[in-house]
Structure 1
Amino acid sequence: YWVDTTSGHPGESQRIAADLKSQGVVFFDCAVSGGPAGAAAGTLTAMVGGDRESFGKVKNIIASFAKNIVHLGPSGAGHAVKAVNNTLLAANICSVSEGLIALKKYGIPLDVALKAINTSSGRSWVTQQRMPEHVLTRGFDYGFSLGLLCKDVDTCMGMLQESGLPAPSLRSTRELIQVAKNILGDESDHLEIAKIIEDWSGETIE
């Protein structure tokens, strides 16, 4: 068995799975989410694609580093969901940054605003954890690079292209984070996207 915990293009994962199958090896694309803290604690989410009948053979291995293990379908499914998940993350960082700056312009304390948002329909992991713990504190220290986020978003863009889907919101997100990467560099924390939006707005998120 081969369990690939990187992120990648689902089409490439399918080709790898087919090549390995011809050699008697069962391949699983097993993309993970949860960041460095989740990896250290063994509480990652694992997004798994591959043969369902063989999945039980590797599930216990995956459980050594992941708490939430979801078998999503055939080869490529794990990498597909990871790419879309991280594109949604990027879109959320952009939209939450813009929204919080708008609230600050109205004189509303952002920590108080987030308390309301986080018990309302606009809440997300970005509003509940990443903004209060890593942006409002000015730490920008989550530990996931902007370059890696852009790689996942580009994978999603490839999926959209292959599927013939317009997806204007997701494509706009890609343009925004590409600008951020060009300015900040690959090694910047992905949450530093907020700094670019701050610069454009003339206001800080704190």
Structure 2
Amino acid sequence: MLSSAEMDTDRRATKPPNTCNTRRISVTSRSYGFVGLGNMGLPMARRLLEAGYSLSVFDTRRDVAETLVADGATVAESLSDLGRNADVVFMSLPTPDAVKAVCLSPGGLREAERAEVIVDLSTTGPRVATEVAQVLSDAGKTWIDCPVSGGVAGARKGTLTLMVSGDAGWIETLAPVIACFGKQFVVGTEAGSGHSMKIINNLMSSAALAVTSECLVLGRKLGLEPETMLEVLNSGSGRNSATTDKIPNFVLPGSFDFGFAIALSSKDARLCLEEGDRMGVPMIVGNAVRQLMNIARDSLGPDADMTEVIRVVEGWAGAEVRGKDVAQKAAE
């Protein structure tokens, strides 16, 4: 028999992601907008279109926005244009400053004639989310936290984890739409709560990648094979998101195309550490993780993939963690 806590957790999760493709309710009568068609935003917008939702899209790169026309999207000429044609606007933007600009700048969503709900899929951080939510509320609009985790592959497949907070009525209303992206967990009713959860998640993810990178490089120096190390780690207590996904899929093949820039990893770590300082919580390990991410960003460039953090450790140690096939080709 489930405990009351387990029952509450079960109720907070929506139905599986493919719900949006099999059941249509009143939300289909609304028009939707999507701002920000980057590595995450583009596949997420496409999932809404595949589900049959009416979607207007906007990105500063018009050529990217136009790739969705064949899927049924309408390309907005500006934020104002999108705001005239959408009842609910989703945002997937790279930085808190970008979120503020889209929402609060002249011609932004605060001034939109129609948009009544703004759903933030970005990693904005709780302070900026709270600030923007208040300004939008004063303008008669509703803000919903909805940051995501799961990477580009999860965005394409609709298997993301979504950390939602805000107005309970709107969250319930939009649940079938949000289900197109993945599994929804309602973490609070206040603006910023979802983003608090997200920055905690992202720092932990980066920490797992950082320590796994160091340990696997050490293992190579000690003569251990990467595939063997991962097999053992994934059967034992060292198992984490880096050993199960990032290292085998993006590091061993040498592709480094997980799809999340190292500069964004550094930014997310900063947001979490700032909250730690604000709340008086020491973040000793977190600060070390951020330092390594900053070194990788400065060494490899801000657009380098986050999985390339291991290349910094490899350079220091003089050992490389690659799959047998990749290593053999390099030797040839």
Same fold? TM cut 0.5: yes
- Which residue of the partner structure matches residue 205 of structure 1? 321
CA contact (8 A) 2:273 2:283 kept: no
Q: Does 2:294 match 1:195?
A: no
Of residues 139, 152, 156, the one that matches 1:40 is: 156
User: 3-state SS of the aligned residue for 1:205?
Assistant: coil
User: C-alpha offsets along residues 80-126 of structure 1, whole Å, 9 cap, x if unaligned?
Assistant: 11112111121111100111122222222110111111011110111
Please give the alpha-carbon distance, in whole angstroms, between the structure 2 residues aligned to 1:104 and 1:183.
Answer: 22
Of residues 101, 109, 130, the one that matches 1:14 is: 130
- Which residue of the partner structure matches residue 230 of structure 2? 114
User: 3-state SS of the aligned residue for 1:17?
Assistant: helix
- Which residue of the partner structure matches residue 186 of structure 2? 71
Total equivalences in the alignment: 205
Q: Higher relative contact order by CA 8 Å / sep ≥ 6: 1 or 2?
A: 1
Mapping 1:117-132, distance limit 5 Å: 117-132=233-248
Please give the alpha-carbon distance, in whole angstroms, between the structure 2 residues aligned to 1:12 and 1:141.
Answer: 29
Mapping 1:40-119, distance limit 5 Å: 40-65=156-181, 67-73=182-188, 74-119=190-235
User: 3-state SS of the aligned residue for 1:59?
Assistant: helix
Please give the alpha-carbon distance, in whole angstroms, between the structure 1 residues aligned to 2:130 and 2:174.
Answer: 18
Please give the alpha-carbon distance, in whole angstroms, between the structure 2 residues aligned to 1:86 and 1:26.
Answer: 26
Higher helix proportion (structure 1 or 2): 1
Q: Does 2:273 match 1:157?
A: yes
Of residues 129, 133, 139, the one that matches 2:255 is: 139
Percentage of pairs with the same residue = 33
Please give the alpha-carbon distance, in whole angstroms, between the structure 1 residues aligned to 2:138 and 2:260.
Answer: 36
Q: Aligned letter for 2:268?
A: D
- Segments of structure 2 that go 5 or more residues without pairing to the other structure are 1-116, 323-332
- Which residue of the partner structure matches residue 148 of structure 1? 264
- Which residue of the partner structure matches residue 118 of structure 2? 2
Please give the alpha-carbon distance, in whole angstroms, between the structure 1 residues aligned to 2:255 and 2:197.
Answer: 29
Q: Aligned letter for 1:146?
A: I
User: C-alpha offsets along residues 132-183 of structure 1, whole Å, 9 cap, x if unaligned?
Assistant: 1111111111111111111111111211121122210001111111111111
